Chains A and B, each alone.
Chain A
Amino acid sequence: MTIAPARKPGTDRQQPAPAGTPGRPRVGAYPWVMAGSIAFAVAGAAVSLNGVLRGWAWYWPVLTTVLVVSLTLAVLRSVRAQPLLVTAGGFLSLAAILTLTFFRSSSFAGILPTGASLSELDRLIRRASETVLSETAPVAPNVGIVMVICVVLGLAVILVDALAVPLGMPAATGVGLLAILVVPAMIKPQSVGFWAFAAVVAGYLMILACSQWYVPDARTPADSARSPGQVRRAVLTGAVAVAATLVLPLAIPGFDQGTFPQGSRINPWGQSTGLNPMITLGNSLRTPAGSGRITYATNSPAPLYLRSVTVDNFDGDSWGPDDRNASRRPLGNQIDPGYAVPDMQQLVTAIDAGTFTSPYLPVPYAPESVRGLEGRWTWDPATLSIKGTDTTSRRQEYLVTSTVPKVTAGLLARSSAPVQGIADDFTRIPGNIPDIVRRTADTVAGSDSTPYDKAMAIQKYLRSAEFTYSLQSPVQGGYDGNGLSVLADFLNQKSGYCIHYASAMAVMARLEGIPSRIAVGYAPGRLTGATVSVAGQGALPEYEVDARDAHAWPELYFQGLGWVPFEPTPSRGVVPDYATETSASSAPNALDNGDDLVPGATPAPAPAPSAAPLPGPEAGVTTDTGSQLLPWLTGIGALLGAALLAASPRLIRAGIRARRLRTADPAAAVPLAWIEMVDLGTDYGLPPQPSETPRAYSARLRGSQLLGEPGGMDEAAHQAAAALTADFERQKYGPPLGGEPEADQPETARKASRSSEITAARIAALESAFRANSPTLRRLHAAWLPASVVGRFGRLLAVPFRAAGVAVGQAAKAAARTWSARWSGDS
C-alpha cells in the first residue's frame, strides 16, 4: 500500500538518494507512466466500440473523460496523496468532466452539477435505455448512450488504477479491460477488431511492465541467474493458453464463430428473430452455417418468396415493423387482401417453420387462409402480415392457400391511374430525406412517366454494375443497419445487401409517388429432393431455406393490381417476369441470379410453361439418375480418400524401410540399418534421447519391456540389436576400413546382397519381438501412425512456427532493452 515505489538498486547506485526527508523518497515518473499506460489501455479498448456506436464522433468525449481522470490520478499520486484520496479524486474528476461535457448548461461554473443536472441526467439515462432496448448496433451516438459509455470508461480507469497501484495486483487489471471488450465481442459481428485488441494488449503489457519496473515484486528477484526451468515454464504456460484458446470456444456454446478471444463472437442466445427482424437480417445472412431452417412444399410454378412482415414507416433512426395491433383481426378462415384483382392464381404451400422463431409467420404472399396453426394468431388487413398474440412460429406446421395476381409487364405498364384507397402509411415521405436519395431518385426515374417505368428505372439502376452485393462492406463502412442515414451511405458506397437495396428502392419509389413498403422474409430456397404429399395436390417438391436466405425486398402498389414485389438486389432472389427488362424478358440469361436459383420448375406439375424460365445449365442437375449417382460417387471417393489418408503414414514408413534395406552401398547400409532400428524403437514408443549414445540407446532398448528377457524367446532380437549397434559403432567411431583392393564386381555385389539380407533379418527379428511384447493399442499405433514418420511431419510443420517464435522473442527482448534503457534514463 505504498505510493512510493521501491527503487531499483541499480538506479540508486547511479544517483544517490535525494536529500529529501527520509522515508519519503521522490516519486519520480511512476504515476505519470502508469496513468499513461492505463489511459492508453482504456482508450484502446474504447476503439473497439466503433461499430457498436456509429461513426467516430463519440470518441472525443470518451477520450477526454479517460484522459482527464487518468491525469487527475497521476497528479494526486505525484503529490503523494493518500491512496484513498487518490481514488476519491478520480471519482470527483469523473463527475466534473461529465458535467462539463454533458450538463454544462445546467451546471454551476461548468463543472459542478446542480439539481437541474440531475433531472437532465435522468433524461439521458432514459434515452440511453431506450437506445439499448430499441436499436440495433451500430446505434447512432446520441447523447444518452455516449454519456453512459463515458461514465463506464471513466469508472474503468479508476478500477484499473485501483487494481494496479494501491492494491498491487497489476495482472488483475486485465479483468477491467476485458469488461470493456465484452460489449463489442457480443454485439459486433466482427467482434473486437484487430486494432482495438492490439491496443488493449499493448496497454495491458505497458501496465504490467510499468509495475514490474517501478514496483518490482519482492518475491521475484530480478537479477537472479536465469533458472533453467523458466523457459520451460513459460513455454508450458503459453502452450496451455493457446490450447485453451482453441478449446474454450468449442466448449462454450456461445462462441459461434472466429478464434477466441480476438475475432470470436459470443452469442449465447442463438439466432434470435425477435420483434424486429430487420435488426437481425444482416447477422442472419452472415451466419456461416445456416440455422433456423424452414422447409416448405408448394405447387407454385414460380420461385416462392416467404414473407413474414413488412416495414412501411421510414421515419426515425431505425426502421422496424409496425405492430398495427389496433387494426389486427383474429385469424379466422379467410384473409381478405382488401382489393380485387381480376386474374388470380391460387397456390397451396405446406410450411414447416422448424426452429425459426418469430412472432410473424412466414407465408407466401398473398395469404388467403392458413390452416394447422397452434395458438392464437392475428392478421393485418393493410399488410397481410400474420402475427401470433401468445405464440411464435417455432415448430409450427401449417398449410397456406395464397393467391397471386397474374401480373405481366403489359398490365403494369397500363396501370397509370392515380393511386386510391391506400393508407397514408405507405405514401408518406419521411421528413429528413438526405439529399443524395432525392437527387438519385430524380436522376434515375425523374424522366419516366408511368409508375411502372419509374419502378423499372430504379430497379435497373440498383441492379446495374455500379452496385455490388456485400455483407461485409456496410459493417466496415459503419452503415450496417437501416435508416435514412444508412441509406445515404449506401448510395454513396454502392455496396450493401438486400436491406439496403430494398429500402433504397422503397424510399425512392415513394419520392416518385409510388406507394411502397419493404417486405422481410426469405428468398426462394433450394430443392431438398424430398416430396411432401398434400391433400388434394398430390406429392409436392420440398424446398428449404435457412438464415442465409433471409431477405428483404420492396413491394410497390399499382392501382388495380395491388402490391407487386420487385427485386432490386443483385445476385439474390429471382427477378419476377414482369420486372425483367422488356427487351430481355424472354431471354433466360437476363436472370443473372447467382446461386440461389431454384433449379427450374421441372418437377412441378404446374401446367404453365411460361413459368419455367430457366432452361439453363442447372436444369440438367435435376435428372433423377444424376442426382442419385452423384452422392454415391462422392461417398466412394471420400471413403477412398480417407482410407488413403489413414494409410499414408504406414505407406510412407514402409517405403522408407524398403529403401533403407535395399541400399546397394555397403558403407551406407550400416548407418541406415541403425537409423531403421532407432525408428523402429521410436514407433514402439522408445525414442532416443538427444544426449544418448548409440550404446546407451541400445542398452535402454534391450533393457526395456519391448525386448523381453535376454536368453528367452527374444534372444534373436537381442542379438540383432547388439549386432546392429556394434556394426554402427564400428562404422561411425571406428578406424576407417583399410583400402581394400578393387575386388571384382560380382564378389562385391554378392557380399552387399548378403549383408543386406542379414540386416533385413535382424530388423525383422527386432520388429517381431517388439510386436510380440507390445499391447494391442501400441501395436496398432506403431503400424498406422508410426511416430518416426508422424514426428518428422510435426517437426517440418513446426519449423515456421519455431522461426517465428524466435523472431518474436528477439524482437521482444530488443524492445524490452530499449524501453528499460529509456525508463532508467528517465528516472
Chain B
Amino acid sequence: MESHRRTANDVSAANRNLAGIAEPVSHLNGHRSAAMDATSFHEASHRILTTVNTVIDGKSDAAKLALTVLLAQGHLLLEDVPGVGKTLLAKTLARTIDCTVNRIQFTPDLLPSDVTGVSIYNQSSRLFEFRPGAVFANIVIGDEINRASAKTQSALLECMEEHQVTVDGKSYRLDEPFMVVATQNPIEMEGTYPLPEAQRDRFMARISMGYPDKESEIEMLETHQSASPLAKVSPVVTTAEVAAMIATVQQVYVSQAVKEYTVSVGRATRESPLLRLGASPRSMLQLLRAAKATAALDGRDFVLPDDVVDVAEAVLAHRIILDRKAAGAGETAHSVLRGILSRLPVAQKPADTGARASAPAGRNAPVAGLSRNH
C-alpha cells in the first residue's frame, strides 16, 4: 500500500501541468488541496451519502451519482417529472456540505445579469461596483432551467464551462468547488426553451430520479408528514474536505486498458447505425472523470472497466442523438447505450492488452507513467 501511495503522489505531481490546462481548480484557487487518504475519503463520502439518504428515501443510486459528479467536478442535470424530489436532492446535497449555496428559479423573464451579476453605480464612491449574481456560490441550484430564455441559459452555461464570470470586460473567478445542479421538466413543454444538444453537453451527467418504490414511498409519507426533513440536515463536511476529496479523485490511476475501453465505448457510439450523433471526445474525458470518482467512492485507487460501465449511461445518454428510424422503432438513448455496452468486448485475457508484457517491466512503470504524463 505504501508503494501505491508514493506512486500516486508522483503521478499527481506530474499531473500538475496537465491539470492546469484541463482542470482549472488548482490554479484558480491559487493553492492545491492535499489529497485525502483512503480511510478519511471513505468516511467523508459515507457521511455525505448517509445524510442525503435520510432525507430522500430509496434513491441512494441517484444520491451516489450526484456525489460522483460533484467529486468529478462536473455539473449535474436532473430531469424528471415534477414532484419526485429533484430539487430536494440538489438542496440536500448542497446542505450536507458546509459551503455557499444559491438557488436560481429560472423563469422566462430572468435576465443574464440576474445570474452573473451586474455593475451598479455607487453614488458615494462614484464608481461602478460589481454586484455578484446568484452564480457566485459553491453549489448553484438552477431550478427549471429550461424555463429561461436561451440568452440567460447560455450565460449560466458559460459560467459552468469557464468557472468565471465576465461583466463589462472584467472577469471574476468563481469559488471552488463549483457545481451547478440544474433541474428540468421534460413533459411541461409550454413556455419552455429546451436545452440544445450543445449545451446539454456541458453537464457531466443527467439523472432521472424515477418514482420511489412502495416501501420508500410509505416511509416518505411517514417521515415527511410534519416537517421538512431538510431542516434537520446539518453540514457534515467542509469545503476544504470536499476539495481534498476532489484531489483524491484526480489521483485515481487509469490504466491503459481502461483508457482503451473508454475510447472504444466512444467509437462504438459513433459507429452505431442507430445513432445520428455519437459521443464527443469531451464526453469521453467526462466519462473517464466520472469513472475515476466512482472508483474512489468504491474505495479503489484505480479505475475498472466496471466503473466506466456504471456511469456510461448517465454521462452519455443526454449527449447522443438517436437516428430517426431507431427512434421510430422504439429505441431510446438508454437502450441503445445498453446494447452497445453489452456487445462491446472487454479485453479479459492479459495477453490481449499486453499486460503480460508490461508486467515484467513493472519496475520501470512509474518512470513510464511520468513520461506519459509530461
A678 to B356, CA, bound (A): 17
Say if the beta carbon of A17 comes within 8 Å of chain B.
Answer: no
Min CB distance B3 to A, Å, is 3
A137 to B147, CA, bound (A): 90
A824 to B199, CA, bound (A): 46
Q: Report yes or no: B360 in contact with A734, Cβ–Cβ below 8 A.
A: no
Say if the beta carbon of B325 comes within 8 Å of chain A.
Answer: yes
CB contacts (< 8 Å) of B20 on chain A: these are none
> Given known contacts A226-B273, A665-B360, A693-B305, is B366 in contact with A732 (CB within 8 Å)?
no
Min CB distance A221 to B, Å, is 11
Segment of A22-30, A91-99, A270-278, A737-745 engaged in the interface with chain B: A737-745
A731 to B359, CA, bound (A): 8
CB contacts (< 8 Å) of B7 on chain A: these are 735-736, 738
Q: Report yes or no: A671 in contact with B4, Cβ–Cβ below 8 A.
A: no
Say if the beta carbon of A251 comes within 8 Å of chain B.
Answer: no
> Given known contacts A691-B341, A691-B344, A693-B309, is B302 in contact with A735 (CB within 8 Å)?
yes
Say if the beta carbon of A799 comes within 8 Å of chain B.
Answer: no
Binary A-proximity of B289-313 (CB < 8 A = 1, otherwise 0): 0000000000001111110010000
Binary A-proximity of B61-89 (CB < 8 A = 1, otherwise 0): 00000000000000000000000000000
A692 to B356, CA, bound (A): 20
Name the interface residues of A696-750: CB closer than 8 Å to any CB of B: 696-697, 729-740
A694 to B258, CA, bound (A): 12
Q: Report yes or no: B366 in contact with A675, Cβ–Cβ below 8 A.
A: no
Min CB distance B53 to A, Å, is 24
A732 to B350, CA, bound (A): 7
Cross-interface CB contact of A690 among B6, B323, B346, B358, cutoff 8 Å? B346
Say if the beta carbon of A695 comes within 8 Å of chain B.
Answer: yes
Q: Report yes or no: B3 in contact with A692, Cβ–Cβ below 8 A.
A: no
A736 to B355, CA, bound (A): 10
Say if the beta carbon of B13 comes within 8 Å of chain A.
Answer: no
Cross-interface CB contact of B4 among A691, A693, A735, cutoff 8 Å? A735
Q: Which among A665, A694, A732 has the highest number of chain B CB atoms within 10 Å? A: A732
Name the interface residues of B340-374: CB closer than 8 Å to any CB of A: 341-346, 348-350, 353, 355-356, 358-360, 362-366, 368-369
Cross-interface CB contact of B325 among A225, A671, A690, A740, cutoff 8 Å? A225
Name the interface residues of A80-94: CB closer than 8 Å to any CB of B: none
Min CB distance A721 to B, Å, is 15
Min CB distance A668 to B, Å, is 6
Min CB distance A155 to B, Å, is 47
Cross-interface CB contact of A678 among B6, B341, B348, cutoff 8 Å? B348
Binary A-proximity of B303-345 (CB < 8 A = 1, otherwise 0): 1111001000000000000010100000000000000011111
Cross-interface CB contact of B365 among A674, A691, A696, A737, cutoff 8 Å? A737
User: Residue of B at shortest CB range from A697?
Assistant: B348
Min CB distance B338 to A, Å, is 11
User: Residue of B at shortest CB range from A675?
Assistant: B349
Cross-interface CB contact of A692 among B253, B325, B348, B366, cutoff 8 Å? B348
Min CB distance B61 to A, Å, is 17
Cross-interface CB contact of A668 among B306, B323, B345, B356, cutoff 8 Å? B356
Q: Report yes or no: B325 in contact with A695, Cβ–Cβ below 8 A.
A: no
Q: Report yes or no: A733 in contact with B255, Cβ–Cβ below 8 A.
A: yes
User: Residue of B at shortest CB range from A737?
Assistant: B362
Say if the beta carbon of B8 comes within 8 Å of chain A.
Answer: yes
CB contacts (< 8 Å) of A675 on chain B: these are 349-350
Cross-interface CB contact of A734 among B11, B301, B325, cutoff 8 Å? B301
Q: Report yes or no: A734 in contact with B363, Cβ–Cβ below 8 A.
A: no
Say if the beta carbon of A688 comes within 8 Å of chain B.
Answer: yes
CB contacts (< 8 Å) of B341 on chain A: these are 691
Q: Report yes or no: B363 in contact with A733, Cβ–Cβ below 8 A.
A: no
Say if the beta carbon of A667 comes within 8 Å of chain B.
Answer: yes
Q: Report yes or no: B325 in contact with A696, Cβ–Cβ below 8 A.
A: no
Say if the beta carbon of B257 comes within 8 Å of chain A.
Answer: yes
Name the interface residues of A486-541: CB closer than 8 Å to any CB of B: none
> Given known contacts A671-B356, A732-B257, A733-B302, is B343 in contact with A691 (CB within 8 Å)?
yes
User: Residue of B at shortest CB range from A734?
Assistant: B302
Q: Report yes or no: A668 in contact with B346, Cβ–Cβ below 8 A.
A: no
User: Residue of B at shortest CB range from A669?
Assistant: B359
A674 to B356, CA, bound (A): 13
CB contacts (< 8 Å) of B305 on chain A: these are 693, 733
Q: 16 A–B contact pairs at CB < 8 A?
A: A667-B359, A667-B362, A671-B356, A691-B344, A693-B346, A695-B304, A731-B350, A732-B355, A733-B303, A733-B305, A734-B255, A734-B302, A735-B301, A738-B6, A738-B7, A739-B364
With A738-B7, A739-B363, A740-B3 given, can you name 20 additional A-B contacts, CB distance below 8 Å? Answer: A224-B325, A225-B273, A225-B323, A668-B359, A671-B349, A675-B349, A690-B346, A691-B341, A693-B305, A693-B346, A694-B346, A694-B348, A695-B304, A729-B304, A732-B350, A732-B353, A733-B255, A734-B253, A735-B302, A738-B366
In the A-B complex, list the 10 residue pairs whose CB atoms are closest, starting with the nearest.
A736-B365, A738-B3, A667-B359, A671-B350, A735-B253, A690-B345, A734-B302, A693-B305, A733-B255, A739-B363
